Amino acid sequence: MSALDLSRWQFGITTVYHFIFVPLTIGLAPLVAGLQTAWVRTGDERWLRLTKFFGKLFLINFAMGVVTGIVQEFQFGMNWSEYSRFVGDVFGAPLALEALIAFFLESTFLGLWIFGWDRLSPRVHLATIWLAAVGVVTSAYFIIAANSFMQHPVGVVFNPVTKRAELTSLLDVLTNSTTLAAFPHTVTASFVVSGTFVAGIAGWWTVRSAKAGREDDASMYRSALRLGLAVLVVSGAGVAYTGDVQSKLMFAQQPMKMAAAEALCDTEKGAGFSLVAVGDLGNACDVRQITVPGLTSFLATGDFAGELKGVKDLQKEYSRLYGPGDYVPLLPATYWNFRMMIGFGAFSAALALAGLWLTRKGAIPSSDRFAQLALLALPMPFLANATGWIFTEMGRQPWIVAPNPTGDPRNRFLTAEAVSPYVDTPTVALSLVVFTVLYGTLAVVWFQLMRRYAAAGAPVVPAAGSSSGPSDDEDSPLSFAY
């Protein structure tokens, strides 16, 4: 394999891995902040127990997101130096803004939150988790803006002398229509993750507590279950709606990607939505599919008879515009990842429906089947997020910066041109092995800790009054220490 292939694998592996932890961080930070707000407002100890329970799981997860994030920033220079040279003028800015505006905020205030239980007044302490949550969501905005530039470059002009893309307006980059669609999609998808996470774990504990006759616990976990379900319903509707907005935009901005999502080979009027494909889905375009007639045309254009360009015609068109080359993404990857994204998301919807039904009118669910469904649903939205990103990124290939159909076509860059010219195969092979082994090991540790702390249940908190508020007593131990 060439250094290019290995660099692609490395970027794919490290990014998908990083994005296991990130959506949970984005979605869970505001929920933990919400739980703590409920405690501060009501003084009800159950909310404090839930805050500590999900707060601990949040922190175990947050650490992984932080440490794998540094790799992401460094890789652009290490493995993709030609890319960095080509777009650094535009692409570096959101990364720098992300660090300066978001990362400082989230890390500093999270440090204050973790260690500040007895150093800050309850209200100030509550503010720290909200500020950390703001930082987390803000960081998502900047990185989506950076990614959206790669999908749909705006706010940029091509300089033929330096052969680099140059910034004309940072505001245009930050308000890219692609960003405005992708950011809410990513954030709602993150809330699907955290809603499922909270509902899944709390649902399992509700059943368990109810069966063991611990009614107080069961009612506490039921509250968390209802919160998770409410988040899941709202964000589930949001993710579907924003996904629809985004796919319409993508049909206009990256028609090849959406044709590849459907493995739509020939230009069709009233194109159907393929449910499954039978046969070898290579780039050969000879499979039989079971389709819902007209649905894809409707989703793309709002008209069941709308015309959609197929892969073959787009390939011809791109060859004419951008010179000879293969402009078709890997169809099996785009086709199946797109379907898996939707399918895994549907699992969370099943949990939402079952949970809402079983908790209606104050009921406390106690069926083993629901407990099993709750656990089974946990990994699903993670997989939906991962496959969604794999689709988005692989569907953009062969481009690293896809040409904007309504912009200057010279602002385009092939992934194959973007790789560091002097970073050789042994080097990337080494780093790929190192990252894979290290990440694999840490994944096991992360999973075991998450399981262990989830299985331990919400901690019992000391009686009210003894654990809150600033303490200047030199002799009392810290309420929290590593």
Partner 1 sequence: MDIHTLRIIWFVLIATLWVGYLVLEGFDFGVGMLLPVLGRTDTERRVVINTIGPVWDGNEVWLITAGGATFAAFPLWYSTLFSAFYLPLLLILVALILRGVAFEYRGKVDDDRWRRRWDTAIIFGSAVPALVWGIAFGNMVHGLRVEHYRAGPFSVLLHAFTPYALLTGLTTVTLFLLHGALFLGLKTRDDLRERAVRIAGKLSIPTAAVAGAWAVWTQLSYGKTWTWVPVLAAAACLAGVVLAARAGREAPGFALTSLTTVLAVVIIFGSLYPNVLPLLGGESLTIDNASSTRTTLTVMTWVAVVMTPVVVAYTTWTYWVFRRRLGLGDIPVPIGRPHRPDPAS
Closest approach, Cβ 426 to partner 1, in A, equals: 7
> Considering beta carbons, is residue 50 or 287 the nearer one to partner 1?
50
Closest approach, Cβ 343 to partner 1, in A, equals: 32
Closest approach, Cβ 202 to partner 1, in A, equals: 17
Site for partner 1 in 137-176 (CB under 8 A): 164, 166-170
Find all residues with CB under 8 Å of 90, minimum gap 6, and list them: 149, 153, 155, 156, 165, 166, 167, 173
Size of the site for partner 1 (CB under 8 A): 80
Q: Are strands 268-269 and 307-308 parallel, antiparallel or unpaired?
A: antiparallel
Closest approach, Cβ 442 to partner 1, in A, equals: 6
- Of the candidate residues 216, 280, 324, 422, the single one contacting partner 1 (CB under 8 A): 422
Closest approach, Cβ 386 to partner 1, in A, equals: 20
Closest approach, Cβ 73 to partner 1, in A, equals: 5
- Of the candidate residues 16, 127, 295, 442, the single one contacting partner 1 (CB under 8 A): 442
The verdict on 64 binding partner 1 (CB under 8 A) reads yes
The verdict on 433 binding partner 1 (CB under 8 A) reads no
Closest approach, Cβ 124 to partner 1, in A, equals: 9
Residue 278 β-bridge partners: 288
The verdict on 456 binding partner 1 (CB under 8 A) reads yes
Q: Are 104 and 96 in contact (CB under 8 A)?
A: no
Structure tokens at 5: 């292939």
- Of the candidate residues 37, 267, 427, 436, the single one contacting partner 1 (CB under 8 A): 427
- Of the candidate residues 160, 213, 324, 477, the single one contacting partner 1 (CB under 8 A): 477
The verdict on 430 binding partner 1 (CB under 8 A) reads yes
Choose the stretch contacting partner 1; rule: CB under 8 A; options: 179-187, 272-280, 400-408, 427-435: 427-435
Distance CA 470, CA 477 (A): 13
The verdict on 262 binding partner 1 (CB under 8 A) reads no
The verdict on 438 binding partner 1 (CB under 8 A) reads yes
Distance CA 157, CA 162 (A): 12
Closest approach, Cβ 190 to partner 1, in A, equals: 21
Long-range contacts of 471-479 (CB under 8 A, 24+ apart): 471/118, 471/119, 476/118, 478/115, 478/118, 479/117, 479/118
Residue with tokens 């803000």: 138
Find all residues with CB under 8 Å of 448, minimum gap 6, and list them: none
> Considering beta carbons, is residue 82 or 313 the nearer one to partner 1?
82
Residue with tokens 């083993």: 368
Closest to 232 in 3D by CA, of 341, 337, 369, 380: 380
- Of the candidate residues 452, 462, 466, 469, the single one contacting partner 1 (CB under 8 A): 452
The verdict on 129 binding partner 1 (CB under 8 A) reads no
Distance CA 62, CA 170 (A): 30
Helix (H/G/I), strand (E/B), else coil: 220: helix
Distance CA 53, CA 221 (A): 11
Closest approach, Cβ 446 to partner 1, in A, equals: 8
Closest approach, Cβ 212 to partner 1, in A, equals: 11
Closest approach, Cβ 403 to partner 1, in A, equals: 21
Binding mask 16-55 for partner 1 (x = CB under 8 A): ----------------------------------------
Choose the stretch contacting partner 1; rule: CB under 8 A; options: 41-49, 62-70, 182-190, 399-407: 62-70
The verdict on 415 binding partner 1 (CB under 8 A) reads no
> Considering beta carbons, is residue 7 or 178 the nearer one to partner 1?
7
The verdict on 426 binding partner 1 (CB under 8 A) reads yes
The Cβ of residue 371 has, within 10 Å, a number of other Cβ atoms equal to: 20
**Cα-flanking dihedrals φ and ψ of residue 471, to 5°?**
-130, 130
DSSP secondary structure string for all residues of 72-117: HHHHHHHT-HHHHHHHHHHHHHHHHHIIIIIIHHHHHHHHHHHH-T
Q: Are 220 and 50 in contact (CB under 8 A)?
A: yes
Site for partner 1 in 66-125 (CB under 8 A): 66-71, 73-74, 76-79, 81-82, 84-85, 87-93, 95-101, 103-105, 107-112, 114-116, 119-120
Distance CA 112, CA 104 (A): 12
